[in-house]
Chain A
């Protein structure tokens, strides 16, 4: 009548489903909420849900990195800027941009329909030793052997972006004198 494996499997499926639904709801909250603080918080909860999904599929390292980089570093900067500028609610207006946004949403929905009808998602073919699965070592081996050039190019691109931002935002006033 009762079977422990079934109970575990059912619980696991339920948890995965709940986390997935929460992620979708949170991402809806990001675009539907009018207060910037709540938008940022919805985005953070979406990131956390993604990390939980990684964790549920045994990718511990990816989950930790997802939280450190996106939920930890990027989103704290978002909140920092919101706090600096003041988190007033936006006034809702019907403008040309709004109609463009609706068109965009319907295009996206169409794409979603297309991708759903094309076929179910397929497993990625690959050879990873089971004891390496989800560890930092597996990712490192893949990243620094197969994709080394792309990885280095991406890092150069990020460096250029960082230097560019500093050039654009260069202070026009004299910095504080050290005493």
Chain B
């Protein structure tokens, strides 16, 4: 029995030693878990916020019966969706049908990994940085991963074997490709100004003046393209209820249906965070004495409210006009803005 205890002792020593040697690894794992859980659990709250605000915008009350201020409603909805029966029609491609919602949620959560949400601080002698990863091409990473999220919708549309789903999938792919250009090009003017692809450097460059004051046009273009990228009204063509039943997720039920919504809301948070980082100065509070993380969160929540405000204000744009708007208005404006920014930067 000696060799077993010896082995276990050695293993224990090794584990303790390696944990002590690799505190950054542990901190990283903890951050990863915290970010994933926080991002997923913010979704029911957002649904509640949207329903309440929409109610107010439309001069009605919204859900207010379950718990105080209707706070119990999102929990009840979540439990209901978890226990609902999952129906798959026989003519659907089963593997792709299951894959699609997973792709949507996975990409939405992974894209949030590089979003920095506060200045670094010291605790127990460790320098804790409030971001999952500070890779030196952070903004490209967000674009790459959110670009992969389109596949979830296209695969859902293709695998459902339903004409409405197919139309929704087609529309989402065309719309995403068109508006991704605007998104990337308007972010490029900020990259030109800071000379870095890292989101942390971009926030550091805005310590005195937020970029919205220097680049108002780029902000407007980025925000419009961001609304289109997250499939929110008035650009919610892929799931236009009046034309396509529910678009690409027509055939989905229960939790799989809810996963598409989780993806959409998480993307909304990521897009708000991205606008905050690029144009509103991130966690810089410009003289108002609040914690950096509170300043960041306040800006993100405000932008989320703007997203909901847009949905209850504007009617849905017609499909051919959506394309015309994207290619003939937004894209030339983006290029013009980029040209002017580049010229000023060189001079």
Contacts and interface: CB of A to CB of B under 8 A. Distances in A.
Interface of A: 1-2, 4, 37, 41, 44, 48, 60-61, 64-65, 67-68, 71-73, 76-77, 79-80, 82-84, 87, 135-136, 176
Given A83-B158, A87-B158, A136 B137 contact: yes
Contact of B10 (A1, A68, A87): A1
Contacts of A136: 136-137, 197
A89 to B, nearest CB: 11
Interface in B141-160: 141, 143-145, 147-148, 150-151, 154-155, 157-159
A2 B8 CA distance: 12
A76 B176 contact: yes
A44 B144 CA distance: 13
Nearest to B21: A4
Contacts of A4: 18, 21-22
A41 B136 CA distance: 29
A80 B169 CA distance: 8
Contacts of B14: 1-2
A37 B154 CA distance: 11
B11 A77 contact: no
28 contacts: A1-B10, A1-B14, A2-B10, A2-B14, A4-B22, A41-B155, A44-B151, A64-B141, A67-B147, A67-B148, A68-B140, A68-B143, A71-B144, A71-B148, A77-B177, A79-B151, A79-B154, A79-B158, A80-B154, A80-B170, A80-B173, A83-B166, A83-B169, A83-B173, A87-B158, A135-B137, A136-B137, A136-B197
B137 A68 contact: no
Contacts of B176: 76
Nearest to B99: A41
B136 A68 contact: no
Interface residues of B, number: 35
Per DSSP, chain B at the interface is helix
A130 B137 CA distance: 16
Given A71-B148, A79-B155, A83-B157, 11 more contacts: A41-B155, A60-B136, A60-B141, A61-B136, A61-B140, A64-B141, A71-B144, A72-B144, A72-B180, A83-B166, A136-B197
Contact of B174 (A64, A72, A80, A87): A80
